[in-house]
Amino acid sequence: MVVLRRRRTQVTNPRSMADDSDSELDTVCEECSSGKQPAKLLLCDKCDKGFHLFCLRPILVSVPKGSWFCPSCSKHQKPKAFPLVQTKLIDFFRIKRSSSDISCSPDKMGKKRKRTSLVMSKKKRKLLPYNPTVDPQRRLEQMASLATALRASNTEFSNKLTYVHSKALRSANKAVLEKGVMQVLSKQDAETLALCKSMMDRGECPPLMVVFDPYEGFTVEADRCIKDLTIITEYVGDVDYLSNREDSYDGDSMMTLLHATDPSQCLVICPDRRSNIARFISGINNHTPEGRKKQNLKCVRFNINGEARVLLVANRDISKGERLYYDYNGYEHEYPTEHFV
């Protein structure tokens, strides 16, 4: 498997202290009282007080786009919960109803898998579909938690890669351009992924809750036990050329989609306008043993019908109530995680 990281755009905002102008040399962080690392000192657009990105709660990984207000000036309000109303959730997630889809359930697929020989299962481990929560009321609560996070971040729900004419077209996403070899998703695993997609389309979401943590911001918890190798979700958003995003701060959580030999062909996924629950899954702190122990997901790129796709897959059994984490630095080791909780 080829693992990867979430990219962070390298930018300087006029409201940061990166320029070290003479009139601002005495500005210090209100939290730690230090003026060190001025490139990571952020100024409030209302009171002009300074805060290190990593001293804020929740931590900011990059200078935000547009105006920014400190916790005191913004009153640090908890995001307003999305209404727990079935019709509103159906509209928000554009849920479809299809009797033909209902016949294909994880249980039936599991029964088919039991016929596979033991030798085959040892030779190559298969991906598993997630098991939705049985209680429909609890599923509504799970979906409402995701809707709350998406609405608070001004993000439209999408469960697939989006190709916009002004960015990268679908024809640019060719897995054969990958530098090295990208693993091809097997036919059976592709069917498992399609089952997960169809379940989400009809409102049977993964058993996950998005919660707001004062230290980590929006983060994701397992709402039931999840088995190793279960598909959690696909990482989705707008597909763009990396070269178009290197000097932009439209998004702080870009994901590598295609790492091509030719830099002009490298693609990234940008979840700042359209995305799903993957946007809110946290990264581990690579710099501490305790941080690395938290990892329970693996981010993997697959060649699916000739196109590059990114999946988040459980890399061990996950207990109910456990938060989901993966390594933002799969192999490029550039995402700054030293201040992650």
Cα–Cα distances in Å, from 76 out to 100, 116, 213, 224, 287? 46, 54, 12, 30, 29
Give residue-wise pLDDT tens across range 210-245: 999 877 789 999 999 999 999 999 999 999 999 988
For 127-326, CATH gives 2.170.270.10
Q: What b/e readout covers 205-220, taking b as 16+ CB neighbours within 10 angstroms?
A: bbbbbbbbeeebbbbb
- Whether the CB-CB separation of 253 and 278 falls below 8 Å is answered with no
What tokens appear for 105 in the block?
């359930």
For the beta carbon of residue 225, count every other beta carbon within 10 angstroms: 14
Least confident of 64-68, 110-114, 255-259, 327-331: 110-114
Instruction: Give yes or no for residue 46 having a pLDDT over 90.
Output: no
pLDDT of residue 220: 97
The pTM of this model reads: 0.77
Give residue-wise pLDDT tens across range 238-290: 999 999 887 654 445 788 999 999 999 999 999 989 999 999 998 887 767 78
pLDDT of residue 291: 73
- Whether the CB-CB separation of 230 and 130 falls below 8 Å is answered with yes
**Helix, coil or strand: residue 303:** strand
Going by pLDDT thresholds of 50, 70 and 90, the confidence category of residue 19 is very low
Give residue-wise pLDDT tens across range 75-131: 656 788 999 999 999 999 999 865 443 344 555 444 444 333 333 333 568 999 999
**For residue 29, which phi and psi values (nearest 5 degrees)?**
-75, 130
**Helix, coil or strand: residue 183:** coil
Give residue-wise pLDDT tens across range 131-161: 999 999 999 999 999 999 999 989 999 999 9
Query: Looking at domain 27-76, what is its CATH homologous superfamily?
Result: Zinc/RING finger domain, C3HC4 (zinc finger) (3.30.40.10)
Q: What is the DSSP letter of 324?
A: P
Of residues 12 and 130, which shows the higher confidence score? Answer: 130
Domain map of the chain by residue range?
27-76, 127-326
| Cα 131 to the center of its chain, rounded Å | 20
Q: Are strands 274-275 and 156-157 parallel, antiparallel or unpaired?
A: parallel
Instruction: Give yes or no for residue 13 having a pLDDT over 60.
Output: no
Q: What percent of the chain has a predicted confidence (pLDDT) above 70?
A: 77
